[in-house]
Chain A
Amino acid sequence: MSKLVAAAAGPATSVQDGGRYGVQRYGLTPSGAVDRLALAAANCLVGNPPFAAAIEVGPFGAAFVAREGKVRVALAGAVRNAEVAGHPVSFNESRTLGDGESLTLGFARDGTFSYLAIEGGVRGEPTFGSLAVNARAGLGSPFPRPLQAGDVLDVDAAKATIERRIDLPAVSDGPIRVVMGPQDDEFGEATDLFLRSEWKISATSDRMGYRLEGPVIKHLHDHNIVSDGTVNGSIQVPGNGQPIVLMPDRGTSGGYPKIATVITADLGRFAQIPAGHTFRFQAVTMTDAQAAARAMADLLQTLPDRAREVRNVDISDALQNANIAGSAVNAFDSGTWQTWTPPEP
């Protein structure tokens, strides 16, 4: 058995998997990776099931050190500077860390969350079938909270000797597709404003919800409705008219009207839009949305076919001897990724 030590971890870095389902009726939100395709791609490269637990690395940097043996890892999702001993590490490619080697990750570029999958997965005690961290409910394993510097994960020693690479289809930079409803009739003409406007991701966004900045979306009546259920991608409009897109750590019910819902196929792409960046929405029909969901499911299924071998492992002694854990990212407090508290119930 080997260990993977978090030498540094930004505030939004946590263990996540496919999520915790079946208990939303008791108020327990699913949590899980915000970008399921990136999680599945990283897992595929190290031979894990697609939604095995991995480390979701937030917009700030992080660093991890292999101890007591080799550890095989793979990175996917938001691209960022990644290095081992000064040498760049490729995304969408597996790599074996020698004992003592450290992987340092910089700030996310053109995205928000990266996934670090580990061969054999993360070891922990699942609750309701999941290791995903839900800090609010005190759930998640091996730690029921975001990762902190010094945390040690027990992991399998690297077994495979072949590294693999995967080529993913290009990510669309088109508008984020939504299905209108369930309460779009609470907005009347404001739905047009919602669809034709440019929106910006607020810095006060987190895994519960992404707040949007743009024109004020006015309600026809009251901004309070009798609470009803929410889904990943529900777009609530509170009293101030600034929409909030609910993410996997959302409350399972909410008391604001929901103008539209991000389609399943675009949830990951939406989650990767960085704070401060702009985008637009586009309404699609249920038929188109469900066709896109099936296409996404097909892509997830065929990920293993897309992976190919790249080279034999050759860990040089020079790399093994160079340990740069001490120079890990140290600028976490300069970021804008804040947390907020929802005004419910």
Chain B
Amino acid sequence: MTAPLPSPRLLPSGDAAITVEFGRVIDEQANRRVLALDRALADAPIDGITETVPTYRSLLVHYDPVRIGFDELGERLTTLARLRAPPTTRTRRWRIPVAYGGEHGIDLETIARTLNTTPDDIVARHVAGDYRVAMIGFTPGWSYLSGLDDSLQMPRRASPRLLTPAGAISIGGLQAGIQCLAGPSGWHLLGRTAMRTYRLHRDPVFLLEPGDAVTFYAVDGKQFTEQDRAAARGEFVAELVVS
């Protein structure tokens, strides 16, 4: 039998939530432990927990302080977090179409110049990546991916754009992202996908789950327009592979 894993830090987020922190940097192992604890709580719920929010490096556990106190919940979470999770039996993999560059990815040329290479090379490196949904946050369906090629790491823009389009495919620091709704962003825009990670009145409303594997493939502007029409009708556009 293997030794239990080290204890996470339990950080109070007020009197009705605990941040169970496995690391302070973006780290694949920490994220796997976050998702393993999240899965363990879904499989065997603790009374008083109202919902959980997985992030890159911590699990935010919301609870009702009338039903369970900080000390008791903290102890139970620590015990669960130190258990080794059984290996995941199934991985969902999404192949997501992206129209790179031009009007769809207005920062592609600048990034290529900054990194002393060509736009095609940037696209090739981005498409070659094997990503995982580390967390979803900020706005509905905004998916933060781990797995960005080291050579594509760039600081965020000095001044964030107040409005970037729905479906923006972007990179920022160590992170890659899929944006669903139009909104502010300080990341660099490489392209755009017609896939809607969030769409009300569709089943399911949310397509991606934390832990899902993601790869991208390039489409041209005409294909994007066709896919965008299909997505507007509620079609998924992206391909789902379960292995």
Point out residues on A near B: beta carbons under 8 Å: 21-28, 127, 136-139, 178-183, 225-231, 233-234, 251-254, 258, 261-264, 286, 289-290, 292-294, 297, 341-345
Give every chain A residue within 8 A of B198 (Cβ-Cβ). Answer: 26-28, 137
Let me know if A290 and B185 touch, CB within 8 A.
no
Let me know if A227 and B13 touch, CB within 8 A.
no
The interface bits of chain B over 183-202 (1 if a CB of A lies within 8 angstroms of the residue's CB, else 0) are 11111000000000010100
Let me know if B12 and A182 touch, CB within 8 A.
yes
Let me know if A26 and B14 touch, CB within 8 A.
no
> In the complex, how many residues of chain B place their beta carbon closer than 8 angstroms to a beta carbon of chain A?
52
13 extra interface residue pairs, beta carbon distance < 8 Å, beyond A26-B198, A228-B58, A264-B15: A24-B53, A25-B51, A228-B57, A229-B53, A229-B55, A229-B58, A231-B13, A231-B60, A234-B13, A251-B137, A264-B14, A286-B15, A289-B15
Let me know if A253 and B137 touch, CB within 8 A.
yes
Let me know if B12 and A179 touch, CB within 8 A.
yes
Given the known interface contacts A25-B210, A297-B66, A342-B184, the answer about A226 and B57 at a Cβ–Cβ threshold of 8 Å is: yes
- Expressed in whole angstroms, the Cα–Cα distance for A24 and B53 within the complex equals 6
- Expressed in whole angstroms, the Cα–Cα distance for A258 and B69 within the complex equals 22
Q: Does B124 contact A (CB under 8 A)?
A: no
Q: Does B160 contact A (CB under 8 A)?
A: yes
- Expressed in whole angstroms, the Cα–Cα distance for A138 and B201 within the complex equals 12
Residue of B nearest to A134 (CB): B140
Give every chain B residue within 8 A of A225 (Cβ-Cβ). Answer: 24
- Could you list some 8 contacts between A and B, CB below 8 A? A136-B183, A182-B12, A229-B53, A230-B60, A231-B14, A343-B186, A345-B137, A345-B138
Q: Return the contact of A344 from the options B54, B184, B206 (Cβ within 8 A).
A: B184
- Give the distance to chain A from B204, nearest Cβ to Cβ, in Å: 10
Give every chain A residue within 8 A of B53 (Cβ-Cβ). Answer: 24-25, 229, 252-253
- Give the distance to chain B from A133, nearest Cβ to Cβ, in Å: 14
- Expressed in whole angstroms, the Cα–Cα distance for A233 and B13 within the complex equals 9
Give every chain A residue within 8 A of B135 (Cβ-Cβ). Answer: 227, 253
Residue of A nearest to B69 (CB): A290
- Expressed in whole angstroms, the Cα–Cα distance for A262 and B13 within the complex equals 9
Let me know if A294 and B12 touch, CB within 8 A.
no
Give every chain A residue within 8 A of B11 (Cβ-Cβ). Answer: 181-183
Let me know if A234 and B57 touch, CB within 8 A.
no
Let me know if B181 and A25 touch, CB within 8 A.
no
Let me know if A27 and B138 touch, CB within 8 A.
yes
Central interface residue in B12, B175, B186, B198, by most chain A CB within 10 Å:
B12
- Expressed in whole angstroms, the Cα–Cα distance for A343 and B205 within the complex equals 26
Central interface residue in B15, B25, B206, by most chain A CB within 10 Å:
B15
Q: Return the contact of B65 from the options A137, A228, A253, A290 (Cβ within 8 A).
A: A290
- Expressed in whole angstroms, the Cα–Cα distance for A27 and B17 within the complex equals 17
- Expressed in whole angstroms, the Cα–Cα distance for A344 and B175 within the complex equals 13
